[in-house]
Chain A
Amino acid sequence: NAGVTQTPKFQVLKTGQSMTLQCAQDMNHNSMYWYRQDPGMGLRLIYYSASEGTTDKGEVPNGYNVSRLNKREFSLRLESAAPSQTSVYFCASSEQHLFYNEQFFGPGTRLTVL
Chain B
Amino acid sequence: DSGVTQTPKHLITATGQRVTLRCSPRSGDLSVYWYQQSLDQGLQFLIQYYNGEERAKGNILERFSAQQFPDLHSELNLSSLELGDSALYFCASSGLGTGDIAGELFFGEGSRLTVL
- Indicate, yes or no, whether A interacts with B: no
- A→B interface (CB under 8 Å): none
